[in-house]
Amino acid sequence: MAENNLVERIGEVIQIHANAKQVYGEPVVRGDMTIIPVARVQWGFGGGGIGLGGVERGGGGGGARATPCGYIELRNGQAEYVPIHDLASAGPLIAAGIAGAILGLILGRKLGK
C-alpha cells in the first residue's frame, strides 16, 4: 500500500508542475511586438516499495530538464515560431564529419597509388 501512496504523490507533483508555464515563459512586450519564450521540458519520475515482515519500505525520485528551443513572435496580429539552433550540441557531429572526410581523403590517396 505504501507504494501506491508514493506513486499517487509523484502523480500529484507532476500535475502541479508539468504545465504550460514550464514550456512557455512569460511574454515580453516591446512596442507592437510580443515575444513568448518556448522551451523543451523533459520530466522523469519513479518510485517503488516493498513490505518485509510487516515493515514497509519505499522510495522515489525524479528530475526535470528544460532547454530553450525557440520563441513565438507576435506582431500585427500574426504569430511566427522562430527556432533556436544549439550549435554546441552539434559540435561532436561536425567533428565526426570532418574526421570522416579527412580519413576518406587519406585512404583515397593511398588506395589510388
> pLDDT-derived band of residue 54, with 50, 70 and 90 as boundaries?
confident
pLDDT (tens digit per residue) in 91-112? 676 777 787 778 777 777 777 6
For residues 44 and 10, give the distance between their C-alpha atoms in angstroms, rounded to a whole number.
10
pLDDT (tens digit per residue) in 60-86? 777 777 778 889 999 999 999 999 876
C-alpha cell at 81: 515560431
| Residues 85 and 94: beta-carbon distance below 8 Å | no
Q: Which of 46, 39, 1 is nearest to 21 (CA)?
A: 39
pTM of the model: 0.52
